[in-house]
Amino acid sequence: MIIRQNYLDQLIAYKDRPVIKIITGMRRCGKSTIMALYKDYLLSSGINPENIISMSLEMMEFDDITDYRQMYKLIKAKIPASGPTYLLLDEIQMIPGWEKAIDSLYAEGVADIYLTGSNSNLLSSEIATLLSGRYVIIKILPLSFQEYLLFVLERKQREEHQYNSLRRSLRKDLDQENNIALDIKRYIRFGGLPMIPFLPQERSMVITYLEGVYNSVVVKDILTNRGIDNIQALKKIIRYVASNTGKVLSPQIISEHFLSKYQSDSFAYKEVALYMELLEKAYIFYPEDCYDLQQEAMLIDECRYYIADTGVRNTLLLFSDTGKGHNLETIVYFELLRRGYTVFWGKYGDCEIDFYAVRQERKICIQIAVNLKEEEIWKKKIQDLQTVPDGYQKYIIAMNRFYEEQIPSVKFINLPDFLLKQDYEFAED
């Protein structure tokens, strides 16, 4: 099992802290695996197995647990007489009213509590109120490109019965640009859900899997749990938002677009706003607010949305060749989130900046260019960057290394270089 160290480190940092740890993210992004990794860590650090209560509530052995009272009694019966207890509950949303049992267990101080869940109700306002000040959220994203390569190498080792160090193999492969180029194209095309590297390489099988993930999110996480019966309206909205990655959107804009086409109450502002709220809570779409660099203020009404996985996006859009820049933006956006940045899209007067990223005292402006050979596009992006005053680090991230000319105050980064350098810090040379 490959260790996703960043998430494991976050859990370790909160070990024995008096807060409920909630691991969440879109379906199939690896939450259960992170929980299993943490269990292994506890065992390797000397915790007695009897002091670890681990339950995957999707398993048939827990089918008889139908409400929070039964779950509470079962957990209490498993708590050992001595030593600290670690409670690991996977897919907690399967138990109606689970938050009441967890709240009581927390108040009693009987265990260090860890939960996973995908359901859009997991962090509803009601639950947030009940557990207010008592939980931390650890959001799991699909694989980074580095993680993706490690998963690919593990698959190859399984196939070839090779047992060399994954990380040694990774360093070896990093020198083979042709291999990396093929891997990054597949990563952009099929996304970073952890199962993708282990699937047969036939496109049809990958697409079937991605369609299944998408349908499970829509049906299980949104429609079933919210009683929404207009699945076609919801799917139209999802496709529309996915196809307009990087563009300014709002429930009002989306509603007006569909009302002009269908004149249906299903696309009224109130309904669209609810759909978008649920899609965010299910971690399908991540909103990106606008920041006015000139006024140093957020513009909350000018939002962009990024879908959590490019493979899901491409499946929704039938793998059209258009929108390559949108996929590139999506990958960079989530990589910045993984590295701890707060990310906006930026404005300075009439100029637009793809990403304005902030982490502590560091403030950076980034433009995305698919191909630096497309002069009109990237020259406009350079001009917009140069309009931003000094004091901000300025970068263009592109798929190739075509552009050699030095531009004052602007640096060029090749996308693979950015993704493969875990410690890449946009440092001044």
Average pLDDT, 10 consecutive residues per value, the chain (429 residues)? 89 96 91 95 97 94 93 96 95 89 95 85 64 88 94 78 50 57 90 93 90 85 71 92 93 95 90 90 92 91 92 91 81 95 95 94 90 71 89 87 70 89 54
User: How high is the pLDDT of residue 428?
Assistant: 46
* pLDDT per position as a tens digit, 277-322: 889 888 899 999 999 999 999 987 789 999 999 999 999 999 886 5
User: How high is the pLDDT of residue 113?
Assistant: 97
User: How high is the pLDDT of residue 403?
Assistant: 60
Tokens of 241: 């938002």
Question: Using CB atoms within 10 A of its CB, is residue 287 exposed (0-12), middle (13-18) or buried (19+)?
Answer: middle
**Whether the Cβ atoms of residue 284 and residue 307 lie closer than 8 Å to each other:** yes
User: How high is the pLDDT of residue 181?
Assistant: 81
Question: How many residues in the chain?
Answer: 429
For residue 261, the SS3 value is helix
Question: Using CB atoms within 10 A of its CB, is residue 410 exposed (0-12), middle (13-18) or buried (19+)?
Answer: middle
Cα–Cα distance, 352 to 345 (Å, whole number)? 8
User: How high is the pLDDT of residue 51?
Assistant: 97
**Whether the Cβ atoms of residue 237 and residue 272 lie closer than 8 Å to each other:** yes
**87-117 b/e with 16+ CB inside 10 Å = b?**
bbbbbbbbbeebbbbbbebbeeebbbbbbbb
| Alpha helix positions (H), 5-96 | 5-13, 31-44, 68-78
User: How high is the pLDDT of residue 242?
Assistant: 95
pTM over 0.85: yes
Torsion of CA 260, 261, 267, 270, to 10 degrees: -10
User: How high is the pLDDT of residue 200?
Assistant: 83
* pLDDT per position as a tens digit, 248-276: 999 999 999 999 999 888 899 999 998 99
Cα–Cα distance, 136 to 123 (Å, whole number)? 11
